[in-house]
Structure 1
Amino acid sequence: MAKVVECVPNFSEGQNKEVVEALANAVMQTDGCRLLDVDPGPSTNRTVFTFVGSPDDVVEGALNMSRVAFSLIDMTRHKGEHPRMGALDVCPFVPVANVTMEECSECANKFGSRLAEELNVPVYLYGHAAVNDARFKLPDIRTGEYEALPEKLQQDKWKPDYGPAAFVPSWGATATGSRTFLIAFNVNILGTKEQAHRIALNLRTQGRGKDQPGRLQQVQGIGWWLEEANMAQVSFNLTDPDVTSMHVAYEECLKDAKEVNVGVCGSQVVGIIPLKAILSAAEYYIQRDNLFILEESQKVRLAINRLGLSSVSQFNPKDRIIEYMIEDESEANTLTSLSLRSFIRNIGARTPTPGGGSASAAIGAMGAALCTMVGWMTYGNKKFMALDGTMRKLIPPLYEAMNALIPLVDADADAFNAFMSAMKLPKTSDEDKEKRDIALLSTTKASIAVPMHTAITANKCWEPMKELAVHGNVQCISDLQVGARALETAVWGAYYNVMINLPNMTDDAFKTKAKSDIDEALKQAQDGAAAVLKIIDDRVNKG
């Protein structure tokens, strides 16, 4: 699996389009880097860039941008609403896929070391890359901003982690580090800058000082005036969205704005955000307003609407949610990205994958989908209005099973391919044989675990299906019957795939448990399908 790191350099230039374009070009011309977003702010005089790549590639991309910034940005002339201390003010590295926080800290150290050595500028480490607690939080490092650097750099406690303890007027200083996703989230206030700042002081973790902390945790905040939109903003950095999410910050702003009699007109996200943050907001409003929404795209739309994320500029999920922005590349070669025609022809080709395991998962997903459809064809139907509450309970587990089975189509093929690769490992020396045996054991377990997961997931459908068979739209009875047989077939397919791999298993305890579990899963599927079909037959016969 490819390692993906997000890099989010903030440069102190948001007004000169030529400089912003030159910085963007620097990263776009770096091999292995993909620029996702450029978010310039004229009032803040700051541009937030977001790009992704492998750990080594993002370090090179950030360095290429820094070289351009060094020649084009002059901090002696900089003015803007956003706190800053350098031409490249901050450059965080964020884990996205198959990368640890420690690896991102290594990126920060490599970048900081090379930046300081090449440009001879002071660099501080913050976040999870910080060498001491006093530098963990970026605002602590940035205290006094650019103007305080000449004196600050002379203090022992503020000696840079890399580079000279000397003031470089045109550059200032740079902070680099590693962190979790930080969400730059601004709430629009139809009032003054002072009113917005008053709200920020009430809510940010720091509050007004040690004796007057704010209400929200892991939140930085400030009030400023957004000239291009002719309104004020409460500007938040949500440093841990799992602790304080966008919707919590937004709703708290609404409360305080009401108290000072000012209006709130939506919000704005600066840069890229993770899908989880949007879905968290959607789930809050679904629960609060007693809505019934399962489709991810509808949840995303709901969150955008409730938070007013398009109030300053259009919020396009494909351009702002990182998972959507990188999924085209990550899913380009997957079986589930193929058309149905191509998928079937791939099964029928002269290749071992996709095979029975992938087909079983696909059949199971279609079975769960048919059952989900029956639920939807009942819910919201005036004729079955009394059953809306029941359908709200029955549809979600079927919908979840459908979505959980889809990725198992590729997982089964991947497990088989990994086993075949292990079979081809050399076995000339004892060391080679040991490595090969370990690889074979691991890949055999995976080849058993995937179809087992298919069976377990498909079997989660039987209980809601039984109730659906009793209450579901009678016009869709045949769809439910096909769904039941499809799910039973999926478990049969999983059973055969487990059984064919068991002889290769050298872990006797694992082998015994797998055999017992798949036997039980098959019986559960047979009993479940029989029960659903009998309920339907009895219902039809009663006419």
Structure 2
Amino acid sequence: MSGCVQIVECVPNFSEGRSKEVIDAIAEALICTQGCHLLDVDPGPSTNRTVYTFVGSPSAVVEGALNMARVAAKLIDMRGHHGEHPRMGALDVCPFIPVNNTTMEDCVGCAKEFGSRLAQELGVPVYLYANAACEDKRKILSSIRDGEYEKMPQKLANPDWYPDYGTNDFIPTWGATATGARKFLIAFNVNLLGTKEQAHRIALNVREQGRDPSQRGTLKSVQGIGWWLDEANLAQVSLNLLDMDVTPLHQAFEECKKFAEELNVAVCGSQIVGLVPRKAILEAADFYIQKENLFILEEDQKIRLVIDKLGLSSLSLFKPNERIVEYMIAEDSSLSAPLANMSLKSFIKSVGSRTPAPGGGSVAAAVGAMGAALTSMVGWLSFGNKKFEHLDAEMRRLIPPLNNVMQSLVPLIDADTNAFNGYMAAIKMPKSTEEETKRREECMQLAIQAAISVPMQVARCVSNIWEPLKELAKCGNIQCVSDLQVGARALEVGVWGAYYNVMVNIPNVTDEGIKAKAKEDIDQFLKLAREGAAEVLSIADGRASSD
């Protein structure tokens, strides 16, 4: 994902989960909005609610949400709405979430613009919640939604609960809408072969707000209720994980399992509604890897582990490319890494074409990544084989840092080219006035510092590999000695490439402090690379000659 692209996620929840025509019409309104990318549509017949997930620039997501609301106003009539999920309006809630190069303040701005325009255009009451709330009591969505649609006439008539935007008259066909800015919320349901009452009992035990204000559940930043899912013939503990850094996905699942066991109720998997951040899945993988003393490094295998441990495919197949938000965003070519995703042949042709980028910096990162990949391969070929069983513990320790360097270098292939393009764009900025000239110079300095930063990251990243690589050279599979030697040389070449790219850009830096620090750092990284590669090759040569 390009670092300069502004991305906000919007997750509007509409009170219709049964009519395909209505669900599709609302989705079509979003699809037709320029700059918006629909990632997921998740309808629920029992909840009679559909959760849409889409991304775009701050201005684009506001337009997309408004277009969806306009269609919903024509097609949804709340007077006949019933479902398992609490609700107060046709567009029940519309949160904005920072994803890439955006802040919570940006999303608060989106919520306020959306709320104001929605109230003005449709003449409906709109509340601000979460980080956009103007009062503490309105920060929690459940407080605003208390009493649901049926009690909304009385709520709107209460001066303490006048909406932030729009009329305080009750609109029977619409109800009311809440919009706000928040962190990524994970809607997570744990499946039970039990009753709705048992599911709700577990929800009360785990959610932060327990049975009454004086009693708290075991999980912080978690909301929850229990309900019955007709279409699956089972109960669910339905949780909203409001802050995955406070209560991660796997902790919520394990806590529900614990209380289910106390009730002698079987847990049969779980369900993620909408999308989930990659971080949440990988943290769950790390939890189970540590818990069961597993050795798994590949990301796709970690994801498979979590799908199995949480039973994420119990109700419908969990497809990572359709459920993990970063994977979904990467499907859009405008937000992906074009060089790293090329075939090797295409990348080589791109380097060899009559363009200055991709150039030496991207090649340095690519060569370094290949070198790290070779050393990682040597580690894997020294692990898991009965012949090298005595090395298993050693390889469990050595392979991860080699693999981490390989993974870390890949995105720097594109980052270097992006930095070069940023500098060229700054050079082309207008300079016809004193103000324009000053702004151009500021942008050029920022761009040149970025152009130095990327190769510096390459060199810094490789510096982490030499110690484990020396140990691998001493004990790794001797049949792979040539791969180890090529890998060490490639890593050294990668640092040399980084060195040259830093040095060619340093003269353009006007800040003498930054210039001196860059020179000192890159010299040190080159010294480590030359000495580290020489020592690895010496060890490898010694083993090869004595074999």
TM-score for the superposition, normalised by structure 1: 0.98
Which runs of 5 or more structure 2 residues have no equivalent in the other structure? none
Residue of structure 1 aligned with 2:52, choices 43, 49, 54: 49
Equivalent position of 2:310 in the other structure: 307
Q: Secondary structure at the match of 1:337?
A: coil
Whether 2:201 is the aligned partner of 1:198: answer yes
Cα separation, partners in 2 of 1:436 and 1:182, compared to 1, 3 Å: same
Does the CA-based 8 Å contact 1:363-1:486 persist in structure 2? Answer: yes
Mapped to 1, the partners of 2:128 and 2:447 lie a distance apart of 40
Mapped to 2, the partners of 1:72 and 1:434 lie a distance apart of 54
Mapped to 2, the partners of 1:331 and 1:69 lie a distance apart of 29
CA distances 1:345-381 after superposition (whole Å, capped 9, x unpaired)? 1211121111111111111110000000000111111
Which residue identity is paired with 1:510? I
Residue of structure 1 aligned with 2:110, choices 92, 95, 107: 107
Equivalent position of 1:223 in the other structure: 226
Which residue identity is paired with 1:122? P
Does the CA-based 8 Å contact 2:337-2:411 persist in structure 1? Answer: no
Equivalent position of 1:409 in the other structure: 413
Mapped to 2, the partners of 1:459 and 1:189 lie a distance apart of 50
Whether 2:269 is the aligned partner of 1:260: answer no
My pick for the range that moved more, 360-369 or 511-520, is 511-520
Whether 2:347 is the aligned partner of 1:343: answer yes
Mapped to 2, the partners of 1:412 and 1:51 lie a distance apart of 29
Q: Secondary structure at the match of 1:167?
A: coil
Deviation, 1:338, is 1.6
Does the CA-based 8 Å contact 1:12-1:78 persist in structure 2? Answer: yes
Q: Secondary structure at the match of 1:431?
A: helix
Deviation, 1:440, is 2.5
Whether 2:54 is the aligned partner of 1:35: answer no
Whether 2:460 is the aligned partner of 1:456: answer yes
Residue of structure 2 aligned with 1:208, choices 211, 223, 234: 211
Which residue identity is paired with 1:476? C
CA distances 1:394-415 after superposition (whole Å, capped 9, x unpaired)? 1111111111111111222222
Residue of structure 2 aligned with 1:419, choices 417, 423, 445: 423
Which runs of 5 or more structure 1 residues have no equivalent in the other structure? none
Equivalent position of 1:132 in the other structure: 135
Q: Secondary structure at the match of 1:83?
A: coil
Q: How well do the aligned residues superpose, as a CA RMSD in angstroms?
A: 1.3
Mapped to 1, the partners of 2:188 and 2:92 lie a distance apart of 18
Deviation, 1:434, is 2.1
CA distances 1:190-247 after superposition (whole Å, capped 9, x unpaired)? 1111111111111110111122211110011101100000011100011111111111
- Percent of aligned positions that are identical: 63
Mapped to 1, the partners of 2:426 and 2:172 lie a distance apart of 58
Deviation, 1:426, is 3.5
Residue of structure 2 aligned with 1:356, choices 350, 355, 360: 360
Equivalent position of 2:191 in the other structure: 188
Equivalent position of 2:476 in the other structure: 472
Equivalent position of 1:504 in the other structure: 508
- Structural mapping, 1:416-455, within 5 Å: 416-455=420-459
Deviation, 1:430, is 3.0
Q: Secondary structure at the match of 1:335?
A: coil
Deviation, 1:70, is 1.4
TM-score for the superposition, normalised by structure 2: 0.97
Does the CA-based 8 Å contact 1:371-1:483 persist in structure 2? Answer: yes
Which residue identity is paired with 2:136? D
CA distances 1:16-50 after superposition (whole Å, capped 9, x unpaired)? 22211221222122222221111111111111111
Which residue identity is paired with 1:106? G
Equivalent position of 2:545 in the other structure: 541
Cα separation, partners in 2 of 1:427 and 1:52, compared to 1, 3 Å: closer
Deviation, 1:256, is 0.5
Mapped to 2, the partners of 1:420 and 1:95 lie a distance apart of 29
Q: Secondary structure at the match of 1:125?
A: strand
CA distances 1:140-196 after superposition (whole Å, capped 9, x unpaired)? 000111111111111111000011111111111111111111111000011111111
Mapped to 1, the partners of 2:37 and 2:442 lie a distance apart of 36
Mapped to 2, the partners of 1:85 and 1:163 lie a distance apart of 16
Which residue identity is paired with 1:322? V
Q: Secondary structure at the match of 1:336?
A: coil
Q: Secondary structure at the match of 2:331?
A: helix
Mapped to 1, the partners of 2:247 and 2:355 lie a distance apart of 50
Mapped to 2, the partners of 1:501 and 1:4 lie a distance apart of 30
Deviation, 1:332, is 4.9
Does the CA-based 8 Å contact 1:367-1:485 persist in structure 2? Answer: yes
Deviation, 1:425, is 3.1
Does the CA-based 8 Å contact 1:462-1:529 persist in structure 2? Answer: yes
Mapped to 1, the partners of 2:139 and 2:336 lie a distance apart of 39
Mapped to 1, the partners of 2:134 and 2:157 lie a distance apart of 19
Cα separation, partners in 2 of 1:345 and 1:431, compared to 1, 3 Å: same
Whether 2:285 is the aligned partner of 1:282: answer yes
Mapped to 2, the partners of 1:28 and 1:536 lie a distance apart of 58
The count of aligned residue pairs is 543
Deviation, 1:331, is 4.9
My pick for the range that moved more, 304-313 or 408-417, is 408-417
Equivalent position of 1:13 in the other structure: 16
Deviation, 1:539, is 1.1
My pick for the range that moved more, 93-102 or 307-316, is 93-102
Residue of structure 1 aligned with 2:167, choices 160, 164, 168: 164
